[in-house]
């Protein structure tokens, strides 16, 4: 099968920040895990670019590119230094060039909620940035985390100075840096880390100024649990994510943590969870699919951190769900490359079916069955799928089995 035809080949499309979201045919690979910094990462990925492209991924989310106090990249210090535990600036740029050649967009992990200081300032805290690029003083740090700035416009990320985005000089500097990543370094997409930490209005401003082709925010807070486990109704959870998307001026998508939380319970024999009271998908995907980035695990929930892991024996059912449904699916590196060739190939097959049946982020879903051991749905006009160990197949002669695996099957017309 050929590579995905990227609609952004024409140079006049390079600044169309709404185009990717409008098209709705993205499939993202999270191209690292929590341990990647130990494995010469930019070089490792360089060798995988042809396979990533051939598999049908349109964008690969890379770990934070800047120098950081912690090797994983999430305690950034000198934003303009691209020598990190993942490799040198030279290797990163060569990887980005190769991705461009294979038409896979590179997504930068944007960590701007907090920044580790270099020198002690007000109150004896490390809240100054002397001696590196963007040499801010204590006014760049929120008052709630030991700086002389204003109060945070979101939740605190504890233990490090949090950036005060209300300061004009801070926003001006960050926009300069984001434009540099976008226009000089060669990243095309952005992922906003810890988006709960600062107001979404700033994300809107940053996207508008730097013009990434696609953006997604990590707005992660807890689902609603009761004494017996996860509540059936997660409307308040998905509404908070939707409010965040709205506040970015609808310019950013968001990770669908609601769908993840529900799906990982549903696959344990509670498939009734996959239909909300209106008969729609119960996550962000059911309300605003064009802005919902669906996923099973990431470097926090899975990998060696395993804060909230998807049940490992059910990952293919999980992928059979998100890769046949609306929203923007994101596949985790570990599942794709570290869990064996069978899982890799089953995921590739599902991505291929998604493309051939023209399933996109806004495709319609008609839920046919949602009970303990069976979920079945028709997606778009020409795809039907089931999950669970109950036997089921679609009625009508024109359905053909497209693929099947452990507890899942997909048909097409």
Asked if the structure places residue 380 within a domain, the reply is no
Note whether residue 378 is domain-resident: no
What are the tens digits of pLDDT across the range 37-92? Answer: 999 999 999 999 999 999 999 999 999 999 999 999 999 999 999 999 999 999 99
* Nearest residue to 404 via CA among 354, 350, 365: 350
Q: For the segment 309-336, what is each residue's pLDDT rounded down to a tens digit?
A: 999 999 999 999 999 999 999 999 999 9
Residue 375 lies in a domain: no
Question: Quick one: pLDDT at residue 15?
Answer: 60
Whether residue 3 is predicted with pLDDT greater than 80 in this model: the reply is: no
What range does the domain containing 143 cover? 18-362
Cα angle: 178, vertex 183, 188; to 5 degrees: 75
Classify burial at 131, counting beta carbons within 10 Å of its beta carbon; exposed 0-12, middle 13-18, buried 19 or more.
Answer: exposed
pLDDT at 11: 38
Give the count of domains, the chain: 1
CA geometry: angle 204, 72, 257, nearest 5 deg = 50
The per-residue b/e assignment along 161-180, b for 16 or more CB within 10 angstroms, e otherwise, is bbbbbbbeebbebbeebbee
Mind listing the pLDDT tens digit for each residue in 198-238?
A: 999 999 999 999 999 999 999 999 999 999 899 999 999 99
Q: How far apart are CA 129 and CA 194, in angstroms?
A: 21
pLDDT band for 8, please (50, 70, 90 cuts): very low
Residues catalogued as catalytic: 193, 218
309 phi and psi angles, rounded to 5 deg: -75, 150
Q: What is the CATH number of the domain that holds 352?
A: 3.20.20.80
Class of residue 312 by CB neighbours under 10 A (exposed 0-12, middle 13-18, buried 19+): exposed
User: Could you tell me the pLDDT band of residue 14, with boundaries at 50, 70 and 90?
Assistant: low
Residue 126 C-alpha from the chain's centroid: 31
228-271 pLDDT, tens digit each:
899 999 999 999 999 999 999 999 999 999 999 999 999 999 99
- Model confidence at 107: pLDDT above 70: yes
Q: What is the DSSP letter of 29?
A: E
Tens of pLDDT along 149-170? 999 999 999 999 999 999 999 9
323 and 343 in contact (C-beta within 8 Å)? no
DSSP state of 64: P
409 assigned to some structural domain: no
């Amino acid at each position: 099968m050929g590579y995905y035809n990227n609609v952004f080949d024409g140079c006049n499309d390079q600044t169309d920040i709404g185009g990717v979201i409008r098209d709705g045919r993205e499939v993202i690979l999270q191209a690292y895990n929590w341990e990647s910094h130990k494995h010469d990462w930019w070089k490792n990925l360089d060798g995988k670019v042809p396979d990533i492209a051939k598999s049908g991924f349109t964008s690969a989310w890379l770990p934070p590119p800047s120098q950081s106090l912690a090797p994983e990249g999430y305690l950034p210090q000198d934003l303009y230094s691209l020598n990190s535990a993942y490799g040198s600036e030279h290797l990163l740029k060569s990887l980005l060039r190769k991705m461009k050649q294979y038409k896979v967009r590179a997504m930068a992990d944007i960590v701007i909620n907090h920044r580790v200081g270099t020198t002690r300032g007000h109150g004896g805290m490390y809240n100054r940035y002397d001696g590196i690029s963007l040499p801010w003083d204590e006014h760049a740090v929120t008052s709630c985390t030991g700086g002389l700035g204003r109060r945070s416009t979101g939740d605190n990320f504890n233990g490090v100075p949090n950036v005060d985005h209300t300061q004009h000089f801070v926003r001006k500097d960050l926009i300069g840096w984001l434009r540099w990543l976008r226009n000089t370094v060669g990243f095309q997409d952005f992922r906003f880390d810890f988006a709960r930490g600062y107001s979404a209005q700033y994300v809107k401003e940053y996207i508008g100024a730097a013009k990434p082709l696609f953006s997604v925010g990590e707005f992660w807070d807890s689902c609603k649990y009761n004494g017996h486990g996860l509540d059936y109704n997660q409307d308040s959870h998905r509404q908070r994510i939707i409010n965040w998307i709205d506040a970015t001026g609808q310019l950013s998508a968001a990770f669908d943590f609601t769908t993840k939380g529900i799906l990982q319970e549903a696959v344990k024999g509670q498939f009734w969870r996959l239909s909300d009271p209106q008969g729609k998908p119960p996550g962000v995907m059911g309300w605003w699919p064009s802005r919902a980035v669906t996923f099973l695990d990431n470097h926090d929930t899975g990998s060696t951190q395993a804060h909230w892991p998807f049940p490992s024996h059910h990952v293919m059912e999980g992928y059979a769900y998100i890769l046949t449904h609306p929203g923007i699916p994101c596949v985790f590196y570990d599942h794709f490359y570290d869990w064996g060739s069978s899982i890799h190939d089953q995921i590739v097959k599902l991505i291929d079916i998604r493309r051939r049946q023209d399933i996109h982020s806004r495709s319609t879903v008609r839920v046919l069955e949602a009970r303990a051991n069976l979920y079945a749905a028709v997606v778009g006009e020409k795809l039907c799928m089931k999950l669970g160990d109950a036997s089921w197949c679609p009625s009508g002669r024109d359905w053909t089995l497209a693929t099947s695996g452990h507890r899942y099957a997909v048909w097409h017309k």
